Amino acid sequence: MNRNKNYKNFIGGQWVESVGRTTFQNINPADSNDRVGTFQRSNADDVATAVAAARAAFPAWKRTPPPKRAAILFRAGHLLTERKEALAHDMTREMGKPLEETRGDVQEAIDMTLYMAGEGRRLFGQTTTSEFPDKFCMSLRSPIGVCGLITPWNFPMAIPAWKMMPALICGNTVVLKPAEDTPLSAFNLVNVLTEAGLPPGVVNCLSGFGPEAGAPLARHPDVPVISFTGSTEVGREVAHGGADHSKHVCLEMGGKNVIIVLEDANLDLAIDGAVWGGFGTTGQRCTASSRVVIHKDIYSEFEQRFLERTLALKVGNGINPGSQVGPLINEAQLRTVERYVEIGVKEGARLLCGGQRLAGAEYDRGWFYSPTIFSRCTPGMRICQEEIFGPVVTLIPCSNLEHAIEIGNGVLYGLSSSIYTRNINHAFQAMQEMQTGIFYVNAPTIGAETHLPFGGTKQTGNGHREAATAALDFYSEWKSIYIDYSDKLQRAQIDT
């Protein structure tokens, strides 16, 4: 298959070539012969043009009543729903995960679009009493300006929607730079917004690589808001650049998430969760369940049953019926996984299964890696400390709940954690003690919903949250208003 199409940048309501007229190929990670499309290799000049378009569109969009903004998002949500299957097929071709998962990715974009459309009539502030008579006090949200959004490849429509929709409903304009591995899904989303009636310049989208396009966007002085999801290393650079210009910066970075399985757990359910949490999206989720901490009394049984389930997983092209685990996104990511497997073996972890690139007619043109389990790991091993972002799960024994919590918290990240237990006391103790932004009981570490805040603690991010009404706090600023109708000077804190 080769339906190679030439895609342009979307700037100021027009599809335009990059200034340098250079391009790159978007390649199907399951089949390197399949060219998904040719995309513009944008640079700082393209970024500057897009920012100028977004800045010019901001005053009118800011003055557009939020319910009118919401009407456009509602239309976009319905268009996404109508096109869900076609959008999912495009996403599987460029990202690799099975259709079942890409349908979920599109659904997440639908959910976020409709949720934020509903907020168009709920951008509530506060009214409160004054310490003086004949004085009225209130607060309201104000948009900030141009938002630079830099998104990853693992959720190529959901995450752009997470960022764009709250930014738009608050009255901001947007410049989106999607990951170079998956620009098509972001372009499809922007195209839907345009068809829904979004005015020119309100959303601009350009393809390209991080150093050439993402970095200039993050540093641009006319972009007061930057939201970044990606690696910890790049996130730190974004943070430093943002500090230099006093930008609003939201960082969503790494995770090393843990499932705790206690001796009273429903083992069938726990194994279901560990398989899905560890190998869904080929482990390429910031919330992936890459560590499973298991009570010593049930460790052997869990290990054996988890191994059997993992060996039964069908790895293949996500377009094919029955495929449960797709390819890694590219050759570099496959090599990263290979390197960590070598590290795990050298550290003395027991390789239960996997640990190799898959070969054969079905796999030779893609970046397929066998689902991998390391057993009898110790918490300090690098494979138990560092984010691998691939189909690798480490099993760690524990002696009791307190020991499990200690292991779970013993990493630099704090995104997601979970516990499997029938003991409500243990569930609530872990809920309180786990140092993560997301916590599940009797479910894996993946499965966030759009109406709850998403984000983590420690080195996972910088404290902001995406999704839900929490996102509105990032994409707007509070304005406090005092209306004195006493016809005299009233001095706060002095005349009280």
Residue 218: φ, ψ to 5° = -65, -30
* Strands 258-261 and 291-295, bridge-based pairing: parallel
Strand order in the sheet with 438-441: 350-353, 372-375, 392-398, 291-295, 258-261, 416-420, 438-441
Q: What is the DSSP string of 294-309?
A: EETTTHHHHHHHHHHH
- DSSP lists the bridge partners of residue 350 as 375
Cα 227 to Cα 176: distance, rounded to the nearest angstrom? 10
Q: Is 286 annotated in the active site?
A: yes
Q: Do the Cβ atoms of 151 and 178 come closer than 8 Å? A: yes
Distance CA(37)–CA(9), nearest Å, equals 13
Phi, psi of 68 (to 5 degrees): -70, -40
155 neighbors 181 (Cβ within 8 angstroms): no
Q: How far apart are CA 46 and CA 53, in angstroms?
A: 11
d(CA 180, CA 207): 6
Which position among 101, 252, 303, 387 bears the catalytic label? 252
Residue 252 a catalytic site member: yes
Tokens of 277: 């949490």
Supply 38's token pair: 């040719």
Q: How far apart are CA 289 and CA 373, in angstroms?
A: 12
Which residues have C-beta within 8 Å of that of residue 371, sequence separation ≥ 6?
A: 278, 279, 310, 313, 315, 325, 353, 354, 391, 393
Among all chains, which residue has been given the structure tokens 């999607």? 178
Instruction: Name the catalytic one among 205, 250, 286, 384.
Output: 286
Helix (H) or strand (E) holding 9: strand 9-11
Which residues have a catalytic role annotated?
252, 286
